[in-house]
Amino acid sequence: MSMSRIKIFDTTLRDGEQSPGVNLNKLEKLEIAKQLERLGVDIMEAGFPASSKGDFQAVKLIADTIKDTSVTGLARTTKGDIDTAWEALKGAAEPRLHLFLATSPIHMTYKLKITPEQVIEQSVNMVSYAKQRFPQIEWSAEDATRSDWNFLAQIIEKVIDAGATVINLPDTVGYTTPAEYGKMFHFIRETVPNIDRVSLSCHCHDDLGMAVANSIAAVENGVTQVEGTINGIGERAGNAALEEVAVALKIRSDYYQYDTGLKLDEIKRSSDLISKLTGMYVQANKAIIGRNAFAHESGIHQDGVLKNTETYEIITPELVGVNSNTLFLGKHSGRHAFKDKVESFGIELTDDQLKEAFQRFKQLTDHKKEVTDDDIYTIVMEIKTEAQAVSKYELKSFQVQYGQATIPTATVSLVTPQGKTLQTACTGKGSVEALYNTLSTLIEEELKLLDYQLNSVGGGKDALAESHVQLSVNGEAMNGRGSAQDVLEASANAYLNAVNRYIITKQSVKPKEVVKQ
């Protein structure tokens, strides 16, 4: 049976980054971009260059670095946005622009306040303008699924004539159903006379939990490109989870005759990197990559799996790169073996960073018998993040007193970015609050805790603790993460990491501005 190749368009760094509370700096975005390249996505949308200086710099850095994947950036249908996108993307191996304008009555009337004729004119003019520079232009009809199909057919024919090479019909508000979305693409293919000159793309949001099913319905109706994000992150309920689309097509290749170019065994690593950097952890029962996706709890299931894994397991963990995560390196492991392991994650460290990582690994082996891949990965990611701050707050020491009959009190000693050591003590309703109150007293910036999470890395009573916080720093939301053997130390590290990430942003670029679309 011959399989048709479906292109994967990853928008984790653009639509995914629009998730509430997510803010990645440009080096974190580059780290994700490199992993997406290893995963084998065909196209990655690195950001929205005109939306902020930070986005511009990140898109440019990614376009200049990534060579095996086509890099694109989003733009509104204005000359300014297109020019800015060109400046960011001109160094890419294959500069590609993603232009969008809304086509639904509700968006045209209330948001854009322009007529359908003006929407056609603006789209055609800006596709022609962009064509002077970009060889590849994707044009998206925002809110396509609530647009009039005849209007869509009319505008699509014109933007193809103007030079668009890909037509994307997004389900912007996650409103459509598989049958309806499939019919819409069928209608467009039947009605638009020049449709064979372009590729069709789908882009689904998950408000009704149908983003993946809708994407596959689109593929069954002639769409050759699927857009989405890893872990399904994105605004509101998120986007179609690309790992689910790719694995569904693979596992049901008896039914669907499509495949993707994704290296499926890079899925778990991609998912882990993105959840660690964004702070958006996937739920345990998430399809494909959730912690429980391969766990069998009931006795009947366990018995069946022991007799033959296929009784209850349609996907093997190995297919998506989930290893058994058993003992990997221990007390006696050498620098060489450690370096090989770090390289196998696909993460590049400088000699100094590697030295520091090895030292922390050795410290960990003093307390933890079984050091897993996850532990090493956590150490390495922490070092990469810390390395970005030129000057930063550093925790020198801390002590927390807690007892049911006493008032929780934390004493913290902290080194400021200017190299001064400060110390004070504060109380709180619990240990973490006492610690955070003390830190916030010592730190100059205006701080407010917005969110706090604590997880264990892997299992076992000696597992590393990983904390994730969201802080408002001088009114700007910033994520921070930290790990340590102890939960309070991990919590303190996460808090300081959010402050330090804010400082890094201030050192390089202005914060993300809100863009009016």
Instruction: Provide the binding-site residues for Zn ion, judged by CB under 5 A.
Output: 15
Give the count of alpha carbons within 13 A of 326, CB side only: 1
Interaction partner, residue 142 (ligand KIV, Zn ion, none; CB < 5-8 Å by kind): ligand KIV
Residue 170 is a binding residue for ligand KIV (CB under 6 A): yes
DSSP string, 322-349: -------B-TT--HHHHHHHHHHTT---
- Residue 317 beta carbon to Zn ion: minimum distance, rounded to whole angstroms: 31
Interaction partner, residue 29 (ligand KIV, Zn ion, none; CB < 5-8 Å by kind): none
Q: Under 8 Å CB-to-CB from 452, ≥6 apart: which residues? A: 432, 467, 468, 469, 470, 491
Residue 172 is a binding residue for ligand KIV (CB under 6 A): yes
The CA distance from 154 to 91, in Å, is 34
Q: Is 239 annotated as a binding residue?
A: yes
The CA distance from 23 to 166, in Å, is 29
State which of residues 28, 142, 375, 382 lies at the interface with ligand KIV (CB under 6 A): 142
Residue entry with tokens 């060109």 = 86
Q: Is 205 annotated as a binding residue?
A: yes
Residue 356 is a binding residue for ligand KIV (CB under 6 A): no
**15 or 374: CB nearest Zn ion:** 15
DSSP string, 257-289: -EEE---GGGHHHHHHHHHHHH--PPPTT-TTT
Q: Is 15 annotated as a binding residue?
A: yes
**49 or 170: CB nearest ligand KIV:** 170
Within 10 angstroms of residue 91's Cβ, the number of other Cβ atoms is 14
**CB neighbour class for 424 (10 Å; exposed up to 12, middle 13-18, buried from 19):** middle
Q: Which of 23, 56, 73 is nearest to 505 (CA)?
A: 23
CB-based contact 56:88 (threshold 8 Å): yes
- Residue 266 beta carbon to ligand KIV: minimum distance, rounded to whole angstroms: 24
Interaction partner, residue 495 (ligand KIV, Zn ion, none; CB < 5-8 Å by kind): none
Site residues (CB under 6 A) for ligand KIV, limited to 443-502: none
- Residue 459 beta carbon to ligand KIV: minimum distance, rounded to whole angstroms: 38
Q: Is 340 annotated as a binding residue?
A: no
- Residue 167 beta carbon to ligand KIV: minimum distance, rounded to whole angstroms: 11
- Residue 359 beta carbon to Zn ion: minimum distance, rounded to whole angstroms: 43
**209 or 299: CB nearest Zn ion:** 209
Interaction partner, residue 51 (Zn ion, ligand KIV, none; CB < 5-8 Å by kind): none
Interaction partner, residue 100 (Zn ion, ligand KIV, none; CB < 5-8 Å by kind): ligand KIV
Output the CA–CA distances (angstroms, integers) from residue 205 to 73, 171, 219, 244, in the order listed: 19, 6, 16, 14
- Residue 81 beta carbon to ligand KIV: minimum distance, rounded to whole angstroms: 12
Interaction partner, residue 56 (Zn ion, ligand KIV, none; CB < 5-8 Å by kind): none
**116 or 290: CB nearest ligand KIV:** 116
Q: What single DSSP character describes residue 232?
A: G
**237 or 390: CB nearest ligand KIV:** 237
Interaction partner, residue 81 (ligand KIV, Zn ion, none; CB < 5-8 Å by kind): none
Residue 54 is a binding residue for ligand KIV (CB under 6 A): no
Helix H or strand E segment including 26: helix 26-39
Residue 51 is a binding residue for ligand KIV (CB under 6 A): no
Helix H or strand E segment including 491: helix 487-508
- Residue 206 beta carbon to ligand KIV: minimum distance, rounded to whole angstroms: 11
- Residue 235 beta carbon to ligand KIV: minimum distance, rounded to whole angstroms: 8
Tell me the residue type at 312.
Y
Q: Where are the beta strands (DSSP E) in 125-284?
A: 136-142, 166-171, 199-204, 225-228, 258-260
Residue entry with tokens 């991990």 = 490
Interaction partner, residue 7 (Zn ion, ligand KIV, none; CB < 5-8 Å by kind): none
Q: What single DSSP character describes residue 110?
A: I
Q: Which of 424, 402, 422, 388 is nearest to 503 (CA)?
A: 388
**55 or 382: CB nearest Zn ion:** 55
State which of residues 7, 26, 96, 203 lies at the interface with ligand KIV (CB under 6 A): 203
Within 10 angstroms of residue 258's Cβ, the number of other Cβ atoms is 21
**229 or 385: CB nearest ligand KIV:** 229
The CA distance from 249 to 254, in Å, is 9
**41 or 357: CB nearest ligand KIV:** 41
State which of residues 10, 15, 31, 373 lies at the interface with ligand KIV (CB under 6 A): 15
State which of residues 56, 86, 100, 129 lies at the interface with ligand KIV (CB under 6 A): 100
- Residue 73 beta carbon to ligand KIV: minimum distance, rounded to whole angstroms: 11
- Residue 414 beta carbon to ligand KIV: minimum distance, rounded to whole angstroms: 42
**11 or 388: CB nearest Zn ion:** 11
The CA distance from 203 to 181, in Å, is 11
Beta strand 258-260 pairing with 96-102: unpaired
Q: Under 8 Å CB-to-CB from 178, ≥6 apart: which residues? A: 210, 213, 214, 216, 217
Binding residues for Mn(2+): 15, 203, 205, 239
Q: Which residues bind ligand KIV (CB under 6 A)?
A: 15, 74, 100, 140, 142, 170, 172, 203, 205
Binding residues: 15, 203, 205, 239
